[in-house]
Amino acid sequence: MRRLLTALAIVGALLVPGGRAVADDTYTPTFPTSCNINVPHVAVGKRVHLVIEVASNSNVAEVGTVKLTISTASARQAARAAARGVVWTKTVRYEGSPIEVLGPVLPRGRYRVTMAFTPDDGQLTGCRNAVGFRVGGGGTGGEDDDNGTLPNTGGPHLWILLAGLGLVVAGGGLAGGSRRPRALA
């Protein structure tokens, strides 16, 4: 009987609910942001037009400050996206919609624009982006003007393409003719 009562007491003690496991809910989610810079064609003697945009996958408004920096880059360094000397900086207020910022008039060359977004809301994280661009080239009317067309890259001549097309058609005709059933005499 003592064993039975002990077993029932143990089962009863196990069935008594314990305290709830509760963790502190101090976690506030953060949403990553993405920065986008668009630099349309820049002609020599014209101001640089930068179109900047910040986006996040949340319903939190992207409001904060954006620091823009334009620096020079040599041809080798542009491939590695390494900047050399700072030419122009500006800090603008971003209110959630794409904005256009007028930059300086730059001489012909290769440049790099860097954008750094610092949000006002703690739920968003900041972002950085950089893009290289070239001042000069098409649209200037000079020797670098390509009139918006692709350059001649020295592709194959037309007669080689036509000869290849003729060989493909002849091969298809021979293959089709050899598979055609012939009438028995």
What H or E segment, with its residue span, contains residue 167?
A: helix 158-178
Phi-psi region of 81 (alpha: psi -120 to 50; beta: other; left: phi over 0): left
Average pLDDT value for residue range 74-79? 49
Contact 103, 47 (CB under 8 A): yes
Round to whole Å and give the CA distance between 83 and 128.
15
Query: Angle at Cα 15 formed by Cα 10 and Cα 17, nearest 5°?
Result: 130
Q: What is the mean pLDDT of residues 38-44?
A: 87
- Reported confidence tier of residue 15, pLDDT bands at 50, 70, 90: confident
What's the predicted TM-score (pTM) here?
0.57
- The domain spans of the chain are 37-135
**What is the per-residue pLDDT for 68?**
95
Asked if pLDDT for residue 136 goes beyond 90, the answer is no
Mean pLDDT throughout 130-141?
73
Q: Which CATH architecture has domain 37-135?
A: Sandwich (2.60)
Mean pLDDT of the chain: 82
Q: Indicate whether 16 pLDDT > 80.
A: no
Q: Which segments of 12-121 are extended strands (E)?
A: 33-38, 47-56, 64-72, 86-94, 99-105, 109-119
Task: Identify the weakest region by mean pLDDT among 10-14, 120-124, 175-179.
Answer: 10-14
What does the alpha-carbon distance between residue 81 and residue 131 come to, in Å, rounded to a whole number?
8
List CB contacts of 38: < 8 A, sequence separation 6 or more: 50, 51, 52, 53
pLDDT at 147: 55
